[in-house]
Structure 1
Amino acid sequence: MEKSEFDLIKSYFAPLASGYDEAFGLLNDAALISENPQASTVVTMDTLIAGVHFLMSDPAGDIARKCLRVNLSDLAAMGATAFGYSLSMAYNSQIETGWVREFTAALGEDQKRFSCHLIGGDTVVTPGSLTITITCFGSVARHQCLQRNTALVGEDVWVSGDLGDSAAGLKLLTKVLTAPEPEKAAHLIRRYRVPEPRCNLGIELLQRAYSRTAMDVSDGLLADLGHIAHASNVAVELYEDKIPLSAAFVEVMSGCPDQGLELAVTGGDDYELVFTSDPSQEQNIRELSAKLSLKLSKIGKVISGQGVQLICRNGEIFLPAKGGWTHF
């Protein structure tokens, strides 16, 4: 790295704070967040490590987008509108100034798209793997947010988008899978490298009161619905033929359909929203799907009991080898 810490901040990071006056151009030790008596601030933080959450061979811009977007996905799961984030980076010897330039340029593009600003952070050097931590700040109406512990027996279970694409994309990058068509491979790899946080969906679900319960699918559908079921003291029943899959995923996994189902519901890194809703809201949700141009699929029901079970097309209960991603 040919630039000093302060040169890097001045050249590449300080411009990302432009437009957020209380960041003071990143010249102070901390930023301010003005309090709003009508709103609650939502705070989330994710740490991503090279070789664990992304590959060092991934483009720097894609790494930047993923690091920000996984945090935005957490805000979406609360129904929050993002406004700022702080960034901590532990660099290693592989990182050069050109990499930082590409990384911050991508952050700048995403900031415009998602209407948020860098408001502070830290930069250090590490002998280990590149490590990036983002703390993201959002806003909701006072004491109002989507939660995990509010699912009720009788509610429908919905999920946005398609499942399994990201996990398949990683397997393509690591040569575990091969794709017959380059376009389909590119789609799956893009889904792994650059997730699409469902910010507008989360905001709409909360503000229109279509749902009280949501979570983003980061550890895998079964695992994350398991968190909802446990917190709400209910059970969830899912149906194989309702799980949404992309054409690219279906083609790549066509030779091993059983593995495909497992990958779709346990692979993780989807960053779609799974949520529950009263059956009376179904038409509203379908209209919201059209409004947002976003696939929303009804995939199951909240029932009495504990845990999550997936009913296969043949009526048997699906038993995966693992429930989803675990951090330890």
Structure 2
Amino acid sequence: MDKSEFDLIESYFAPLSKGYEEAYSLKNDAALISVHPDHSTVVTMDTLVAGVHFLITDPAADIARKCLRVNLSDIASMGAEAFAYTLSMAYNDDLDSEWVRSFTNGLESDQKRFSLHLIGGDTVKTPGPLTITVTCFGTVPRHQCFKRSTAQPGQDVWVSGNLGDSGAGLKILTGEIDVKNTSFREELIKRYRLPQPRMALGVQLLNQQLTNTAMDVSDGLLADLSHITNSSDVAAILFEENLPLSNAFTNLMIGNADLKTELAVTGGDDYELLFTADRIHRDKITELSNILSLKITRIGEITEGRGVSLIRKNGEEFSITETGWKHF
């Protein structure tokens, strides 16, 4: 790194705190968070490591936005609105101040888009890979949020957006899949590099009391739905024909039907919102989908029992060994 820690903070990171008075331009040892007494603060943290959660060859601005957005996706899964974040970065000698400039430009762009500010953090040097930790803060009406333990038999299972795009994008970047169509290639890579946290959907689902149960899809649909079923002591049935897939992903997988389904439900990094809801809310959820111009698809149902089953069009169960990403 060609600048000192304090030069980096003053030049690139302190401007990101502008507009948040209690961050004190990042010149104190800590920041303050003042929240209305009728609201609760939501806190989440994610650490991303080069070569594991992103590719070091990805554009610096995209890496920054992904690090922020995966945290915002957790905020959305609680039905919360974000207002601030902290950032810890462990650099190595491969990075210079121009890389940091591009990185902070990416943060600035998403701060404006999602209405939040940087309020603190830390910078250190490491001989290892670039490691970035973001802690994000949001707010909900006091004691109100989504949980994983409240799904009930008879409820529908819903998911926002499309599945599998991000997993396909990663396989394209690592050379595991070759794509001739340039527009499809760019679309799928973008989905890997830049997840779309469903902030407005999370807030509306909470405000309209359409669900008590939600989480984001980060490790893969089957793995994450299993977290809900295990916590709620229920089972779930998903229907292959209902899985929402993009045109780019569908065309990429022509002739590979099994791989298409497997990648859609285990690929991970989708960062879509997964939730359950009583059947009486179907029309309201469809209406919300139209209002937000966001695809929201009913993909299955919660039942009595244990585990998650994926049923094919012919009625047989789709067999998958690994349900998604495992950190250890």
TM-score, normalising length from structure 2? 0.99
Cα deviation 1:263-319 (Å, max 9, x = unaligned): 000010000001000000000000000000000000000000011000011211111
Letter in 1 for 2:109: E
- Residue 172 in 1 paired to residue 172 in 2? yes
**Does the aligned pair in 2 maintain the 1:160–1:294 contact within 8 Å?**
yes
Cα distance in 2 for partners of 1:62, 1:197 equals: 14
Give the structure 2 partner of residue 222 of structure 1.
222
Give the structure 2 partner of residue 81 of structure 1.
81
- Residue 301 in 1 paired to residue 315 in 2? no
Equivalent position SS for 1:132: strand
Letter in 2 for 1:98: E
Give the structure 1 partner of residue 209 of structure 2.
209
Note the C-alpha offset of 1:2. 1.6
Note the C-alpha offset of 1:321. 2.6
- Residue 45 in 1 paired to residue 58 in 2? no
**Does the aligned pair in 2 maintain the 1:83–1:116 contact within 8 Å?**
yes
Equivalent position SS for 1:270: coil
Cα distance in 2 for partners of 1:159, 1:125 equals: 40
Cα distance in 2 for partners of 1:64, 1:120 equals: 15
**Does the aligned pair in 2 maintain the 1:47–1:131 contact within 8 Å?**
yes
Where structure 2 has 5 or more consecutive residues not aligned to the other structure, the ranges are: none
Show structure 1 runs of 4+ deviating over 6 A.
none
| Identical residues among aligned pairs (%) | 62
RMSD: 0.6
**Does the aligned pair in 2 maintain the 1:60–1:99 contact within 8 Å?**
yes
Cα distance in 1 for partners of 2:146, 2:180 equals: 41
Give the structure 1 partner of residue 135 of structure 2.
135
Letter in 2 for 1:127: P
Letter in 2 for 1:185: R
Cα distance in 1 for partners of 2:35, 2:176 equals: 49
Give the structure 1 partner of residue 12 of structure 2.
12
Note the C-alpha offset of 1:35. 3.5
Count residues in correspondence: 328
Equivalent position SS for 2:77: helix
Cα distance in 2 for partners of 1:111, 1:192 equals: 20
Between 1:298-307 and 1:34-43, the stretch displaced more is 34-43
Note the C-alpha offset of 1:255. 2.6
Equivalent position SS for 1:63: helix
Cα distance in 1 for partners of 2:41, 2:22 equals: 16
Equivalent position SS for 1:78: coil
- Residue 312 in 1 paired to residue 312 in 2? yes
Give the structure 2 partner of residue 112 of structure 1.
112
**Does the aligned pair in 2 maintain the 1:180–1:252 contact within 8 Å?**
no
Cα deviation 1:10-41 (Å, max 9, x = unaligned): 00000000000000000001000113210000
Letter in 2 for 1:284: K
